[in-house]
Each structure stands twice: as C-alpha cells, then as structure tokens.
C-alpha cells in the first residue's frame, strides 16, 4: 500500500524548485514548431487545494510558494524564468489569493500547444481518480493507472520523438535511486534523444554523491545537476535540499538555471543559509 500523498507537501520549497525548472524545460520544447509529448511517470493528483486538511496539516506551502507569492501582480524585480513559473501559479489563483497549487500535470498542460500530448501515470488508488477528474474530457491528456517504472516499455519512444519524461517518485520505498537508474537506462535504450528530468531529495550529501557518480557512468549526454538546499546536507531523515537532474538537457538551460536558482534561494532561504548548484555531470556532445 502506498502511503505517500503529495497533497501534504504541495507547493513546498522542493515543489517550487522542481516546477520552476519544469516550466523552463517545457518552454524550451515549445520553441520549435514540431509537436512534443510529455510523460509524467509519477503524476500525483494534478493540482491541490491549499485549504484542504492535508495541505493545512504542516502548511509546507508557506515555506515554498507562500514565500514567493505577491498576489495578482509579479514582483517587478523577478527574473523572466521565475516570472514564467509564477504566472502559471497565478493563473490558478486569479483573484490574487493563493488557494490552489498546480502539480506537474497542470503546469505541463498549461504549456501544451494544440498538437502536443501529455501522458500521466499515477498508481495511488486515491490520487489516480482525482487526476482523471482533473483532465476529464481533455483529448490532449491521457491518464493511466499503472507503475510509472513500466512507462519506458509502454510509452517510449512516443511517435512525436520529441519530448520530456518527468520522473518524480515518492522515495518511500528503499532502493528508489537504483530503480530510477535502471529506468533511465531503459529509457535511453528506447529513446536516446528524449529529455528526462528526475527529482530527488537531499538529506545528506553522501547519498546524492553516489547517485551522481552512477549517473556519470550512464554517460547520457548533457546531464545537468541542479540543487537548491535550505539546510546543511547532514541529516538523512530531513528534506534539507531538492535536487533535479536533467538528461539530454536543452541548449543553454544551464544559463537560465544559473540565473533562476540564486533568485529562488534568496526568496526561500531562512536566516541567510542555503546553497544552489548547477553543473554538468556529463557534458553535451
Ligand atoms: N509529480 C507530481 C507533481 O510534481 O505535482 C508529484 C508526484 S509525488 C512526489 C509522487 C507520486 O508518485 C505520488 O502521487 C505517488 O502516489 C506516486 N507513485 C508512487 N509510486 C508509484 C509508482 N510505482 N508508479 C506511479 N506512481 C507512483
């Protein structure tokens, strides 16, 4: 039985890091005319009511999107990358009061063009029906109840041959890093040019270093590591930082993220602490 429900964590600092990057990746895909396909292997419920009991339990969103929220208007000094993400959150909260937070499916849907497609996979028996309801009748979106780690065999390569796979598991099962690495190999074998974004939690530095080392061994071109940390990386039982690795990264995304992450840190940090990282684990060919 899966215990994790994203509704408890929606809009926290890790979501902000992950989603602000996701928006940049989708915008990069949209710069070419050819259609693209997005495959979200661990999709969650789609979007979240921040007034709901789960979201209110620890009010994690207050330390994330809550710190960036300025009402109906963007902060004039926000850079273009952060503004693009905040505009999409604002679109769900048009009256200027922060009540709903878009998950990765809602953000991806907002940036599809008429010929693009979105495939959503979710295996939680309660979140899957919510996801289905969120996109009922939407012909550009397909929702599946299955194991996200089987997505490579089922959906890849998509006929469009252009697109993005988002892998954002719950990390509630031991061995999740290894499952991700196995899946990345299978994706790359089937769809060598597909862009893949993988989220991971940072508790202590040693675990993410092992993950990075294994990613280097895979040797998938343009593998970019991005991290946003609010606490020192020395507590395996806490979410001290948020990591996102991008494989087959779009051209010059590193420059955009080097502008955006320090700005994010500035808005999210507590007491002047924190760190960001954007560097290549494997260079582009
Ligand atoms: N990607 C979502 C977002 O950004 O809005 C959040 C996803 S949440 C971190 C992880 C989700 O993976 C949970 O909804 C959980 O139910 C789901 N999940 C866990 N194991 C899964 C599996 N093997 N296949 C598909 N979904 C799974």
Q: Does the bond joining 152 to the residue before it have cis omega, within 30 degrees of 0?
A: no
CA distance 96 to 146: 36
Cβ-based neighbours of 127, under 8 Å, separated by 6 or more: 5, 6, 44, 45
If one residue of 9, 42, 103, 123 were mutated to test the ligand 1 pocket, choosing by the most ligand atoms within 8 A of its CB, it would be: 42
128 lines ligand 1 (CB under 6 A): no
pLDDT of the chain, 285 residues: tens digit per residue: 578 999 999 999 999 999 999 999 999 999 999 999 999 999 999 999 999 999 999 999 999 999 999 877 767 778 999 999 999 999 999 999 999 999 999 999 999 999 999 999 999 999 999 999 999 999 999 999 999 999 999 999 999 999 999 999 999 988 999 999 999 999 999 999 999 999 999 999 999 999 999 999 999 999 999 999 999 999 999 999 999 999 999 999 999 999 999 999 999 998 889 999 999 999 998
**CA of 143: how far to CAs of 49, 190, 270, in Å?**
20, 22, 38
Beta bridge partners of 243: 200, 227
Q: What angle do CA 62, 68, 72 make, to 5 degrees?
A: 110
Q: What share of the chain is helix, strand, coil (3-state, %, to 5)?
A: 40, 20, 40
Count CB neighbours of 44 within 10 A: 27
Residue listed under structure tokens 């806490």: 238
**Residue 46 — left, alpha, or beta (φ > 0 → left; ψ -120 to 50 → alpha)?**
left
Distance 40 CA to ligand 1 centre (A): 9
Nearest-angstrom CA–CA distance, 265 and 4? 26
Look up residue 149 and give its DSSP letter: G
pLDDT at 181: 98
Q: Reduced to 3 states, what is the DSSP secondary structure of residue 234?
A: strand
Which of 235, 237, 151, 128 has the alpha carbon at shortest distance from 198? 151
Using a 6 Å cutoff on CB, does residue 170 contact ligand 1? yes
Q: Which atom of ligand 1 is nearest to the CA of 40?
A: 1
Question: Atom of ligand 1 at shortest distance to CA of 173?
Answer: 20
Helix and strand numbers, DSSP H then E, in the chain = 10, 10
Q: In degrees, to the nearest 5, what angle opens at C-alpha 258 toward C-alphas 274 and 16?
A: 60
Q: What is the pLDDT of residue 75?
A: 72
From CA 225, how far away is CA 282, in angstroms rounded? 9
Using the mean position of ligand 1's atoms as its centre, give its distance from the Cα of residue 4 in Å. 8
Distance CA 48, CA 7 (A): 6
What's the token pair of residue 220? Answer: 């998938």
Neighbours of 268 (CB within 10 A): 21
Q: 41: CA distance to ligand 1 center in Å?
A: 7
Q: Which two tokens stand for residue 106?
A: 């809602």
103 lines ligand 1 (CB under 6 A): yes
What pLDDT is stored for residue 78 in this prediction?
Answer: 84
pLDDT of the residue at 77: 73
- The CB of 7 under 6 Å from ligand 1? The reply is no
Tell the residue number behind the tokens 């990057």, with chain if given. 21
Residue 16 CB less than 6 A away from ligand 1: no
Both ends of the chain: CA-CA distance in Å?
A: 42
- What pLDDT sits at residue 272? 87
User: What is the whole-number distance in angstroms between the Cα of residue 125 and the centre of ligand 1?
Assistant: 11
Q: What is the pTM of this model?
A: 0.97
- Confirm or reject: Cβ of 104 under 6 Å from ligand 1: yes
Is any ligand 1 atom within 6 A of the Cβ of residue 43?
Answer: yes
């Amino acid at each position: 039985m899966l215990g994790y429900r994203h509704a408890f964590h929606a809009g926290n600092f890790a979501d902000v890091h992950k989603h602000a990057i996701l928006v940049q990746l989708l915008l990069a895909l949209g710069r070419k005319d050819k259609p693209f396909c997005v495959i979200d292997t661990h999709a969650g419920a789609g979007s979240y009511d921040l007034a709901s009991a789960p979201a209110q339990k620890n009010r994690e969103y207050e330390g994330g999107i809550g710190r960036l929220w300025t009402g109906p208007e963007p902060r004039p000094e926000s850079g273009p990358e952060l503004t693009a993400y905040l505009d999409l959150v604002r679109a769900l909260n048009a009256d200027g009061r922060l009540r709903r937070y878009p998950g990765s499916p809602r953000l991806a849907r907002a940036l599809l063009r008429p010929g693009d497609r979105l495939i959503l996979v979710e295996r939680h028996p309660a979140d899957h029906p919510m996801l289905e309801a969120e996109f009922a009748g939407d012909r550009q979106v397909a929702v599946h109840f299955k194991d996200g780690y089987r997505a490579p065999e089922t959906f890849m390569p998509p006929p469009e041959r252009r697109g993005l796979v988002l892998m954002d598991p719950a990390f509630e099962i031991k061995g999740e890093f290894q499952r991700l690495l196995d899946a990345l190999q299978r994706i790359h074998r089937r769809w060598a040019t597909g862009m893949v974004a993988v989220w991971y939690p940072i508790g202590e530095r040693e675990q993410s270093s092992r993950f990075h080392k294994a990613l280097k061994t895979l040797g998938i071109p343009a593998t970019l590591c991005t991290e946003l940390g609010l606490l020192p990386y020395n507590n395996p039982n806490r979410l001290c930082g948020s990591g996102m690795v991008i494989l087959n990264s779009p051209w010059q995304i590193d420059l955009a993220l080097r502008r955006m992450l320090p700005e994010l840190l500035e808005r999210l940090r507590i007491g002047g602490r924190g760190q960001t990282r954007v560097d290549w684990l494997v260079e582009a060919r």
